[in-house]
Homo-oligomer: A and B are copies of this chain.
Amino acid sequence: MKPYKEMTREELLQEKASLEARFNEVKAKGLKLDMSRGKPSKEQLELSNGMMDVLNSSSDMLCEAGVDCRNYGIMDGIPEARRLLADMSEVPEKNILIYGNSSLNVMFDTVSRAMTMGVCGHTPWGKLDKVKFLCPVPGYDRHFGITEFFGIEMINVPLLETGPDMDMVEKLVAEDDAIKGIWCVPKYSNPTGISYSDETVRRFAHLKPAAPDFRIFWDNAYSIHHLYEDDQDVILELLTECEKAGTEDMVYKFISTSKVTFPGSGIAAMAASEANLADARRAMFYQTIGHDKLNQLRHVRFFKDMDGMRAHMKKHADILRPKFEAVLDVFEKELGGLEIGSWVKPKGGYFISFDALEGCAKKIVAMAKEAGVTLTGAGATFPYGKDPKDSNIRIAPSFPEPEELSLAAEIFVLSVKLVSLEKLLALRS
């Protein structure tokens, strides 16, 4: 098909009429499909059901340290869980602290602690007139939610195919000591799916921020969440690069098993330099007597080691891959050549990011909703929910059943086409 913008007004109107007919047809089906959040499907959850069996009433509940996991004790996490999550984070065991069930919670608490207590002895952010964060966009709405909640000013930085625009990042952090952090999803980025290039990671390690308490919030949420066996992204390990550059205190890494085992019943961790972990432990000592060690034990007994976890992730990939491909196939077939949107084919993670014609995202999301497909709200991938171009839409293909997905994708595509046609027709009238 030729690009819409090359069509005559007549052709556009004809196309519109035919699409509307089809749209009303699918709308009449009264579907209810959710593509709004990166939520594993039932089939994926089943993969981890065995984790419920590894601990039962007759199990040995001692961890390697000889401590009964049912009782109080061991604030840092049991040794075997630290080792497993250190491996997952690609850092030595000494650089890891195990937390509760969610890395989002660890990130929130880390910002909260910086607000009330400051970072490693520096002035608490809450005592400063202005605190700013750099936000590569499009990005993860819940990152932006945390900084917005604490009244931190957010500055958009374009996310390129190699990662954030590092020229801009380097310039901004060097100039402005109110900039205290940057949100990053370095691998299979939420939502665009890109992974940071080696050069980007090295430039992060060599940042020269004006603020001594500037920290990189490195949310490696999809570190082992590949879609393909033979085509995987590998990123440089940031803490190591920072150590080489003598900047190891500049980074907090976050991971969790929420999308490895069970969302909400996983275990989370922070990886960082010893100085940063000491800072975190100071607060943790007052915040809790310890995290859920039985759930840590359950994870370790289930996976044994990183090889076990990687084998498990292949099963996730086998379920997710056809879903991504079903959506991408529809996009390719229905939108290819029309020049009314672009997308990146991700090699991992949970999302497909779609860029519509400017000013069309909100309308597309609303139209898809009308036909029963819930998408992440347009704008959600930007700080304050404001996409300056009203163009980016995040699509999460993980949750719907495979047979529903092609239909959901069709509804999405119909919405894109109809809204784009309206825009093009309006421009000509």
Which residue numbers of A lie inside 8 Å of B, CB to CB?
37, 39-40, 42, 45, 48-50, 52-53, 55-59, 61, 68-73, 100-102, 104-105, 108-109, 112, 115-117, 124, 126-127, 142, 145-146, 149-150, 262-265, 283, 285-295
Contacts and interface: CB of A to CB of B under 8 A. Distances in A.
Given A42-B71, A102-B289, 15 more contacts: A42-B68, A45-B68, A49-B58, A50-B57, A52-B59, A52-B294, A71-B262, A100-B100, A102-B290, A116-B126, A116-B150, A117-B149, A126-B127, A142-B286, A146-B286
15 contacts: A37-B72, A39-B71, A39-B72, A42-B68, A45-B61, A45-B68, A49-B58, A52-B55, A52-B294, A56-B56, A73-B264, A100-B292, A102-B290, A108-B286, A126-B126
A72 B115 CA distance: 28
Contact of A100 (B48, B53, B101): B101
B57 A56 contact: no
A56 B45 contact: no
Nearest to A286: B149
Contact of A295 (B45, B127, B149, B292): B292
A294 B117 CA distance: 33
A286 B68 contact: no
Contact of A101 (B48, B58, B59, B292): B292
A105 B288 contact: yes
B288 A102 contact: yes
A313 to B, nearest CB: 17
Contacts of A116: 112, 115-116, 126, 150
A263 B290 CA distance: 9
A127 B115 CA distance: 11
A52 B149 CA distance: 38
B50 A53 contact: no
A117 to B, nearest CB: 8
Q: Which of A109, A264, A290, A292 has the most CB of B within 10 A?
A: A264
A149 B283 contact: yes
Nearest to A267: B292
Contacts of A112: 112, 116
Nearest to A149: B286
Contact of A265 (B117, B263, B293): B293
B53 A294 contact: no
A68 B146 CA distance: 26
Contact of A263 (B57, B71, B100): B71
Contact of A40 (B71, B109, B287): B71
Nearest to A294: B265
A45 B57 contact: no
Nearest to A109: B287
Contacts of A263: 70-72, 289-290
Nearest to A262: B70
A152 to B, nearest CB: 11
B287 A108 contact: yes
A350 to B, nearest CB: 12
Contacts of A262: 70-71, 294
A70 B45 contact: yes
Contacts of A286: 108, 142, 145-146, 149
Contacts of A53: 56-57
Contacts of A105: 287-288
Contacts of A117: 149
A263 B70 CA distance: 6
A288 B71 contact: no
Contacts of A55: 52
Contacts of A127: 126
